[in-house]
Structure 1
Amino acid sequence: MKEVEGDLIQMALEGHFDVIVHGCNCQCQMGKGIALSIKKLFPEAYEADLATEKGSREKLGSYSSANVSQLDASFTIVNAYTQFHWRGKGVKADYEAIQSVFVQIKNDFPGKRIGYPLIGAGLAGGDWDVISSIINKELKGENHTLVKFLS
């Protein structure tokens, strides 16, 4: 896993990534964090989320996606269903769902430049050491980059 500091969305718009992945809940909210920014900037990604069944546990470990083009960049946004809900205290990240979705990402986007934030370790409260080891294992051999946001 490569690590850089910056703004994942801006880097995608500058052509650094073919695919960006962010964690979503299964409630079709996209109401906080990077998901909210994606919802506002790329309505087609939110529309892909809304096309899934709200509140379905079956979504955990899967994803919806949208191909976007803005400025001179084209890339795919992956809404990775890595947590069921967002309410309450405690860890909301689902490690099995994270593993499942990254298996699918490797299968569906081989050879692509993949960028992602600290999926599951921010608002979802997951342990980044656990999550990063899952991502490294499942994306082994792929060009993938963690983008740590500078606030």
Structure 2
Amino acid sequence: MTVITYVRGDATAPQGKGVKLIAHVCNDLGGWGKGFVLALSRRWPEPEAAYRRWHRERAGNDFALGATQFVRVSPYIWVANMVGQRGMRRGSRGVPVRYEAIDTALASVADRAVELEASVHMPRIGCGLAGGTWSAVEPLIERRLLSRGIAVTVYDHDQ
């Protein structure tokens, strides 16, 4: 089975040859303003604009926990906006991360990666502002992506 490659660097500057799909987790409130999304927006305006439009028009589309939106940002790079957290705040109901939603979204990412013959690149999804743990997310990546032979690179950003 394929293994996750861990590197220090910026997931918005994915390494390697060929088509690359950058996967990250968004909330279900339409908010885009903290965490990894800021790095995405600094590099490309399209993922934020598409996500905000997707949320704004949600009455007529598939926007919901577990849904994934694919945005092409260059001839060889796509961004996967995965709705994998409920709300944005930690509180009495726990953390915002929703592992089931990330799992569903990763299945869509896998299908698109196969279709595009792409590698998948990501920060430690669901483990920043969403409050998740990597020990819960990593097995989802193994099951949905690695088991299908999809190359995955996880980026730990230098602070």
The TM-score with structure 1 as length reference comes to 0.86
**For 1:84-139, what per-residue CA distance to the aligned partner results, in whole angstroms no more than 9, with x for missing partners?**
21123332110000100011111122131110111001111111101111111110
1:92 aligned partner, one-letter code: P
Alignment of 1:98 onto 2:106? no
Kindly report the root-mean-square deviation, in angstroms, between the aligned alpha carbons of the 2 structures: 2.2
- Where does residue 158 of structure 2 map in the other structure? 150
- C-alpha contact (below 8 Å) 1:27/1:55 kept by paired residues: no
**Deviations for 1:3-49, whole angstroms, at most 9, x for unmatched residues?**
1111111236x867611011111122221111122123311111110
Q: How does 1:12-91 map to 2 (within 5 A)?
A: 18-54=20-56, 59-69=64-74, 74-89=76-91, 90-91=94-95
Instruction: Give the structure-2-normalised TM-score.
Output: 0.82
Once the 2 structures are TM-superposed, how far is the Cα of residue 60 of structure 1 from its aligned partner? 0.6
**Alignment length (residue pairs):** 147
Contact map agreement 1:26 1:81 (CA 8 A) in 2: yes
Quickly say closer, same or farther: Cα 1:27–1:40, change in 2 above 3 A. Answer: farther
Moved more, 111-120 or 15-24: 15-24
Structure 1 window deviating more from structure 2 (117-126 vs 54-63): it is 54-63
- Counterpart CA distance in 1 for 2:35 and 2:140 is 22
Distance 1:49 1:81, change over 3 A: same
Deviating 4+ runs (over 6 angstroms): none
Please give the alpha-carbon distance, in whole angstroms, between the structure 1 residues aligned to 2:6 and 2:130. 20
2:84 and 2:101 in contact (8 A); partners too = yes
